[in-house]
Chains A and B, each alone.
Chain A
Amino acid sequence: MIAESASPLLSVSGAGHHYGNRFGCRGVSFDLWPGEVLAVVGESGSGKSTLLGMLSQRLNIDEGSVHYQTAEGQMTDLATLSEPEVRRLWRTEWGFVHQNAAEGLRMHVSAGGNVGEPLMANGARHYGKIRARAADWLQRVEILADRIDETPATFSGGMRQRVQIARNLVFGPRLVFMDEPTSGLDVSVQAKLLDLIRSLVADLGLAVVVVTHDLAVARLISHRTLVMQGGQVVEQGLTDRVLDDPQAAYTQLLVSSILKG
């Protein structure tokens, strides 16, 4: 970890993506360090998901740059990568957890097949070993062993989300993008899932960029928080600092809008 920390995993400077002549997000700059969890918060339409799409190369970087430190230790400008290279990163180094598990899973392929797919995509060709790894990961996300052959279509929302997380961690990624991983789940399931994400991320030393509109999520799992409004970053800093002592007017509004019971 210490040796790796000499340079950031992801270095974003002045990055922006536009839809037609309107920018989804613009002028975003930050560094993400290995093992760090960064929360991106903001209201609906503030450009959070656009930023995540851009970082994970699902959307173009239209201005500025995003540099990523590959497993070989090279800082690479993501915009210069070819499609096969980007897809290799998706397969081997990056995970992406969607808000809706149906987007990230094959709903009519068994849970074991879903978790095993990234291994097979990376060239694993031994059924017994693939299945054992899939079973191990399903157990780590607390899916009962006897449900490995059932499809996510038969699972509850929380279980689907856990299968999706297993599928994204099974190949040992270095960086995981999460888009609202807990919204759409009921409150008790949210809490359990966040707890699970937090412990897995800590165990594996993963770097995570998590997009959320829920400040409690940011508080619970992130080290640093980036607040977005209208496609711009209005404030960033340590999560506790941003939430306890918000500087920007918008952040103050956001923090004060939390219902306290």
Chain B
Amino acid sequence: MLAEPRIVYNEGYLDEQTKRVVRRALLKGIAIPGFQVPFASREVPMPRGWGTGGVQVTASVIGPDDLLKVIDQGADDTTNAVSIRQFFERVAGSESTTRTDEATVIQTRHRIPETPLAEGQILVYQVPIPEPLRFLEPRETETRRLHALEEYGLMYVKLFEDISRYGHIAKTYDYPVMVNGRYVMAPSPVPSFDNPKMHMNPALQLFGAGREKRIYAVPPYTSVESLGFEDFPFEPQQFDQPCQICGSSGVYLDEVVTDDAGGAMYVCSDTDHCTRAASAVGFRASRTRGEWDFPATGTGTEGAVQ
């Protein structure tokens, strides 16, 4: 009987030359905060749009001593987050964690953790569209020129249109920011609620866009200012009520539909924060979505929440 051959991966999946390519792009990105550095994006074993940019950045900075946390919409337990975490456990030999304060590398899609980050931590964002001017100016040659010459009138046209149409700036995610007073940057689709956390953050923030082949970065303690008008300044999203599981307020909440009669509950999108806040108040020791006690609401709702 033939033994199944064991596949041996290079540490961190990518070959060393590729990691050098990515690291060089990262260094350039850190040297010029907010500037999009082109890089030769490689194939990784997941489809583009599922965080291939973030995975390549993580693969280039992670080592066996690192503790990796992966979140998707704030949650550690979604399919994408779990599979990326398992991928790195296998190919980098790194340990995983769900605790924000323990992690050395955090790969994220759509959220910045509620727990404040510290010096020495790296936050890796998965970016679908790195160009903040993309839907205003389709030509890449032109947007590069606009960045180079610091011509950002166009970005304000977008905000102007929002105010004209809706009476306020309606963009609630991927809200454009000015990094270090120079480059306008797309902060990936994080909610505008998270924008203030990027400003003067002690952690290193790296952005990888695999499909669009761009890397950019915000070094620790760099100013990140959300754009706005003098009479219509940037306003992050606000939530009136606290989380219905852990009772935290001032956090980003997800709406979870609980029945088919319009019922919903609002809970932390950051599962790590929620779990720890809940256990701190002795409310629920662990939070698993299947375990919630929902009020009996009659037929048709069984099995609706997985």
Is A120 a contact partner of B157 (Cβ separation < 8 A)? Answer: yes
| Residue in chain B with minimal CB distance to A84 | B149
Nearest CB in chain B to that of A114: its residue: B157
Report the stretch among A14-22, A37-45, A127-135 that lies at the interface: A127-135
Give, as a whole number of angstroms, the nearest-CB distance from B166 to chain A: 11
- A261 CB to nearest B CB, Å: 46
Q: Which of A73-81, A104-112, A238-246 participates in binding chain B?
A: A104-112
Give chain B residues whose Cβ lies under 8 Å from the Cβ of A120: 153, 156-157, 160
State the CA gap A106–B137 with chains docked (Å): 10
Q: Are A149 and B165 in contact (CB under 8 A)?
A: yes
Q: Is B299 an interface residue (CB 8 A)?
A: no
The reply to whether A113 and B151 contact each other, CB–CB distance below 8 Å, is no
Complex alpha-carbon distance, A202 and B18, angstroms: 63
State which of A87, A110, A118 has its C-beta within 8 Å of the C-beta of B164: A110
A91 vs B146: C-alpha distance when bound (angstroms): 13
| Chain B residues within an 8 Å CB radius of A87 | 149, 151
Interface residues of B in 223-246 (CB under 8 A from A): 229-232
* B154 neighbours in A (Cβ, 8 Å): 117, 121
Q: Identify whether the interface residues of B are mostly helix, strand, loop, or mixed.
A: helix
Once the chains are docked, how many angstroms separate the CA of A158 from the CA of B161?
A: 23
Main SS at interface, chain A: helix
* Complex Cα gap A113–B160 (Å): 7
CB proximity of B226 to chain A, nearest CB, Å: 13
Q: B residues within 8 A CB of A125?
A: 156, 229-230
List chain B residues, Cβ under 8 A from A260. Answer: none
In the complex, what residues of A have CB within 8 A of residue B31's CB?
Answer: none
Q: Looking at chain B, what size class is its interface with the partner chain?
A: 10 to 19
A113–B161 CB distance below 8 A: yes
Query: Are A149 and B164 in contact, with the CB atoms below 8 A?
Result: yes
Inter-chain contact B153/A117, CB cutoff 8 Å: yes
Is the C-beta of B44 less than 8 angstroms from some C-beta in chain A? no
Asked whether A72 is an interface residue with its Cβ less than 8 Å from the other chain, the reply is no
With both beta carbons as reference points, the residue of chain A lying nearest to B150 in the complex is identified as: A84
Q: Is A116 an interface residue (CB 8 A)?
A: yes
- Is A256 an interface residue, CB under 8 A from the partner? no
Q: Which residues of B contact A110 (CB under 8 A)?
A: 161, 164-165
Smallest Cβ distance from A127 to chain B, in angstroms?
A: 4
Q: Judge whether B231 and A126 touch: CB under 8 Å.
A: yes
Residue of A91, A116, A127 with most partner-chain B CB within 10 A: A127
A92–chain B nearest beta-carbon distance, Å: 12
Q: Does A83 contact B (CB under 8 A)?
A: yes
- Whether B230 lies near A126 (C-beta < 8 A) is yes
Give the residue of A106, A128, A131 whose beta carbon is less than 8 angstroms from that of B157: A106
Q: What A residues does B229 contact at CB under 8 A?
A: 125-127
- The reply on A122 being an interface residue by CB < 8 A is yes
B153: which A residues are within 8 A, CB to CB?
91, 117-118, 120-122
A148 to B231, CA, bound (A): 20
Binding site for A on B (CB under 8 A): 136, 145, 149, 151, 153-154, 156-157, 160-161, 163-165, 229-232
Can you pick out 26 interface pairs between chain A and chain B where the beta carbons lie within 8 Å of each other? A83-B145, A83-B149, A84-B149, A87-B149, A106-B157, A109-B161, A110-B161, A112-B164, A113-B157, A113-B161, A117-B153, A117-B154, A118-B153, A120-B156, A120-B157, A120-B160, A121-B153, A121-B154, A122-B153, A125-B156, A126-B229, A127-B160, A127-B230, A128-B231, A131-B164, A148-B164
